[in-house]
Amino acid sequence: MKRTSRISLLFIFIIVAALAGILWPLMRRGFYISDDGEWMVIRLSAFYQSLADGQFPVRFLGRLNNSYGYPVANFLYPGFLYIGSILHFFGLSFVTSVKVILVASVIGGSAWIYASLRRIYSVFASTLGTLAFIGSPYLLYDLYTRGSVGEVLAFLPASMGIYSIVAHKPLLFAIAVGGLIVSHNTLALLFLGVFVVFIITLGRWGFLRQLLLGMGLAAFFWVPAIAEKQYVRFDTVMVSNPMEYMLGFRTMWLAGLAGVLAGIFFLFGKVKKHEKITSVAFVLNTISLFFALPMSALFWSIHPVASLVQFPYRMLAVAALMTPWIVASVGEKFIRQKVIIIGVLLVILVLPAWYQLQKISFVMREEGYYTTNEGTSTVADEYMPKWVSVIPGNRAPERIIFHSGRGTVVYKYLNTQKVVAHVDVLEDSLLRLQNIYYPGWGITIDGKLVPVTYENPNGFMEVSISAGKHTVEAEFRETVMRFLADMVSVISSIVLFIMLLKGMKYQIK
């Protein structure tokens, strides 16, 4: 075996060892305690239940909110929910499915980052940059303190998108854009901005068409999410005070010492700056750090910005993807001091990683804890419809009741998105379906669509019904606007598939 091959294998082994080091807690039984992790498992189980009940795309999670349901999946990153549902369908538990997504996201993101760096830098420098990502304090914080499955997943298509721009792979870029948009709302906006900057820097203007194609792939999600935001509380609820989530004395380590030191060397040292991408990465890294610090407080006082991003330290996600480029550039400068540079980098990365990993604690729960939990899985019920003024605190004993009048109800079919019942009405009555109304719900009586009202504190659906025997059917379906958005995604998928076939045919020739 050639010496260069042995060296390459050695550096790959170092990357694999680093990945094993930070991911080993996910191999343990049970689930670790974090801010959002277990709630993501609960949301996944409710999402799978709605999907199994025939709702596609899934938008309204009927089991949550004490079985009254609410449209959280219409607004919050469904990417990991679809992936997790597929994994669960093939036999994995919901907890294991989430762990697999987290592991695959970190490994996949690392692989794409390494491949991107190798387009410019040596194996040694690329390895350093990849290690800087793997040991990124913000990535570890996302993993084990916040348990933010969507944010961790977003690193995979984000790093894939950067690779596709650098390597000039336009179709791969379209897939990355679509995957990114459904991975996490806020990080999608941030990383799409990074994509545009990279496209402009490299003059890859044709990628803007692929950007539109990727947006078309994810139109089923982002178009309704934007158009229907007017129906929910999101704009009127402050999920967090951004001033409390900036880097301070106790959280400054999240900025990443490796990126800061490499940035200083890059700026003031004799480091080659001819690589446009690395220079842009330095600028983006610096900007992201600035907006995570208290000196940017004036910017975060703007309500729409604060409401959208919620946590200023989220800007560090950009730094986590830009730092590898700066570290690789500096590493290339000091390539003759491999041992010293690797040693220094490992010390810089291992200390915060050890600090994060040693705090992890686990809980052992039965699967039923997640599959029967009926909480809302959001911080401030920000995706609750505006017409709900009183959120019910207890589970409804019956799905259909007589709010006024008398009669009996016999259920013929019942799941999270559809109810069919035979109703014997003794007098003209007001029938209440104890689900929160959201556009897409409709009710028919004896096959005829009837007007639905929901002017009550709980936002429950109500219909007038005459005396006699009737068949009442309530079902959640796509609205016209959502259906059109779905069609955009279908057409975009067909276009991408045709383009991929043409690309394969060209390569074969």
What DSSP line would sit under 367-385, residue for residue?
HHHHHS-----SSS-TTSB
**Are 354 and 470 within one domain?**
no
Phi, psi of 92 (to 5 degrees): -80, 145
User: What pLDDT shows up at residue 342?
Assistant: 66
Residue 276 lies in a domain: yes
Residues 404 and 357 in one domain: no
Residues contacting residue 403 through CB under 8 Å, at least 6 positions apart: 429, 430, 431, 432, 462
Pair 142, 99 in one domain: yes
What pLDDT sits at residue 502? Answer: 81
Do 448 and 349 have their domain in common? no
- Token code pair at residue 347: 């010390």
How wide is the angle at C-alpha 491 spanned by C-alphas 490 and 493, nearest 5°?
65
Domain with residue 469: its CATH number is 2.60.40
Quick one: pLDDT at residue 338?
A: 59
Whether 16 is covered by a domain: the verdict is yes
Give alpha helix (H) positions in 292-427: 297-300, 303-309, 316-333, 338-357, 367-371
> Are both 149 and 236 inside the same structural domain?
yes
| pLDDT, position 54 | 92
3-state DSSP helix/strand/coil % of the chain, to nearest 5: 60, 10, 30
Task: Please tell me the predicted confidence (pLDDT) of residue 124.
Answer: 86
Sign of CA dihedral 78, 80, 81, 82: positive
- How far, in Å, CA of 475 to CA of 484, rounded? 19
The verdict on 417 and 275 lying in the same domain is no
Amino acid at 317: A
pLDDT at 258: 81
Q: How far is CA 116 from the centre of its chain?
A: 23
- For 85, 410, 422, 432, the CA distances from 405, given in Å and listed in that order, are 42, 16, 16, 11
Say if residue 344 is in the same domain as residue 472.
no
Q: Which domain holds residue 410?
A: 400-477
User: Are 72 and 169 in the same domain?
Assistant: yes
Tell me the C-alpha distance between 35 and 379, whole Å.
10
Q: With respect to residue 485, please indicate whether it lies within any of the assigned structural domains.
A: no
Question: Same structural domain for residues 332 and 454?
Answer: no
Shared domain for 367 and 472, answered yes or no, is no
Whether 40 and 155 map to the same domain: the answer is: yes
Biggest CA pair distance of the chain: 90
Backbone angles phi, psi at 478, to 5 degrees: -75, 140
Q: Please list, in sequence order, all residues whose beta carbon lies within 8 angstroms of the beta carbon of residue 418, skipping any fewer than 6 positions away.
A: 53, 54, 473, 474, 475, 476
- If asked whether residues 344 and 205 sit together in one domain, one would say yes
Check: pTM over 0.75? Answer yes or no: yes
In a domain, 362, yes or no: yes
pLDDT at 1: 47
**Both ends of the chain: CA-CA distance in Å?**
34
- Nearest Cα neighbor of 142 from 192, 92, 194, 105 is 105
Would you state the pLDDT for residue 212? 96
Asked if residue 70 lies in contact with residue 384, where contact means CB atoms within 8 angstroms, the answer is: yes
Out of 333, 355, 371, a domain closes at 371
Full pLDDT tens readout for the chain, 509 residues: 455 566 678 778 888 998 999 999 999 898 999 988 899 999 999 999 999 999 999 999 999 988 999 999 999 999 999 999 999 999 999 999 999 999 999 999 999 999 999 998 988 889 989 999 999 999 999 999 999 999 999 999 999 999 999 999 999 999 999 999 999 999 999 999 999 999 999 999 999 999 999 999 999 999 999 999 999 988 777 666 777 778 887 888 888 888 888 888 777 766 554 578 888 999 999 999 999 898 888 887 776 766 777 788 899 999 999 999 998 988 887 666 655 666 667 667 777 788 888 888 889 899 899 998 888 767 678 889 999 998 888 888 889 999 999 999 999 999 989 999 999 999 999 999 999 999 999 999 999 999 999 999 999 999 999 999 999 999 999 999 999 999 999 999 999 999 988 876 655 55
Residue 425 lies in a domain: yes
In a domain, 500, yes or no: no
Count CB atoms within 10 A of the CB of residue 43: 30
Asked if the structure places residue 68 within a domain, the reply is yes
What's the structural domain count of the chain? Answer: 2
Q: What is the pLDDT of residue 396?
A: 82
Is 493 within a domain?
no
